[in-house]
Amino acid sequence: MGPVWLDVHAEQIDNEEKEILAHPSVGGVILFARNYYDSAQLRALTQAIRAAAGRDILIGVDQEGGRVQRFREAFTPIPAAQSYHALGAATEMAEQAGWLMAAELIAHGIDLSFAPVLDRGFACAAIKDRAFGEEQQVVTQYASAFSMGMRRAGMATTGKHFPGHGAVLEDSHLVTPEDPRDILQSSDFAIFKAFIEKGLLDAVMPAHVVYPQHDTQPASGSRYWLTHILRQQLGFKGVIFSDDLSMGGAHVFGDAPSRAKAALDAGCDMTLICNDRASAVSVLDALPIQSVPMADALRVRTPIDWQTLKQNPLWQTTHAVLTEFDTHWRTMQA
């Protein structure tokens, strides 16, 4: 599979998308709420995407929970990451949530939910309740449990946003924030370091944030961060995804092909270009044909049947517990 991830417009793929998906540089498709109507439709869509590609490309979605959950109707509401510690839940609940979230997606032909969020703190506009906590220990405990649940279901983990997005106030969807700290000495960086040392991450997604004490480029396109620190110093051997290169935080690298080239040259293995068809096509046209063999490790190996999953007593119990917990959290936040 190739290094480029892109999106599709609707609940079914059209002829133009079939042609695009067949391009050898396409390695994945990221889905959004607009791509979902019901369970049967979603399973048909993931099958159609792979059929059009003519190979087992990856399919992913942001299904972290809370405000970032693309599929809702017929799916279990996954609580916001902040809620577990805030309401005094045991880490086992986070593990069960990770398992159930991953199992439900796998049952619909989806390989990845880009999770867990490893950012610390709630002040950043882009993060807020997506973070598991303010303290390093809290984030590590709950995110570790969530990750183990994902893996138990058969889904790879993606830690984001390296080396830490939580301390900046600006939203990198809109601008390129700067974190003036020596982040290598921070608890933010220590979380990623601990996860990599424990072997809990199969993939990493860097932040569109500049850390000027270390480099002038955002981490998402920085050879210092992705090659020197992540690969060489921390010894990370998994897949590195860019965050969405259509985000405002990536525009400092130029047009879409320049952004993709900067990310790949810096050390990213796969690049995401979302909600901008013209830019995605321009990247496919500009990049040399290449493959990313290591990304094959992220594919789901053991399918799960949706109806069988829903008859599983563990799913039924976890579904009920998480639904009640999520309702309680949302009521408190209202």
Per residue in 284-304, pLDDT (tens digit) is: 999 999 999 999 999 999 999
The residue-averaged pLDDT of 247-264 equals 90
Task: Let me know: does 142 contact 183? Beta carbons within 8 Å.
Answer: no
pLDDT(196) > 90: yes
Neighbours of 55 (CB within 10 A): 14
pLDDT(52) > 90: yes
Catalytic positions are: 173, 243
pLDDT(199) > 90: yes
pLDDT(309) > 90: yes
pLDDT for the residue 51: 98
Q: Binning pLDDT at 50, 70 and 90, where does residue 175 land? A: confident
Q: Binning pLDDT at 50, 70 and 90, where does residue 172 land? A: confident
Q: Binning pLDDT at 50, 70 and 90, where does residue 253 land? A: confident
pLDDT for the residue 138: 98
Q: Binning pLDDT at 50, 70 and 90, where does residue 173 land? A: confident
Per residue in 119-131, pLDDT (tens digit) is: 999 999 889 999 9
pLDDT(334) > 90: no
The residue-averaged pLDDT of 41-49 equals 98
Residue 27, phi then psi, degrees to nearest 5: -120, -10
Structure tokens given for 99 = 């398992």
Cβ partners under 8 Å of residue 91, min gap 6:
84, 141, 142, 144, 145
Q: One-letter amino acid identity for 13?
A: I
Does pTM top 0.95 for this prediction?
yes
Per residue in 57-73, pLDDT (tens digit) is: 999 999 999 999 999 99
Q: One-letter amino acid identity for 327?
A: T
* Average pLDDT for the chain: 96
Q: Binning pLDDT at 50, 70 and 90, where does residue 246 land? A: confident
pLDDT for the residue 174: 80
Domains of the chain plus CATH, in order, are 4-333 (3.20.20.300)
pLDDT for the residue 140: 98
pLDDT(266) > 90: yes
Of all residues in the chain, what percent carry a pLDDT higher than 90?
91
CA 28 – CA 46 distance, rounded (Å): 11
pLDDT(249) > 80: no
Mark out the alpha helices in the chain (DSSP H runs).
Answer: 15-21, 39-53, 81-86, 91-106, 136-153, 187-197, 223, 256-266, 277-286, 306-311, 313-333
**Sheet hosting strand 26-31, strand order edge to edge:** 112-113, 58-61, 26-31, 4-6, 270-272, 239-244, 203-206, 158-162
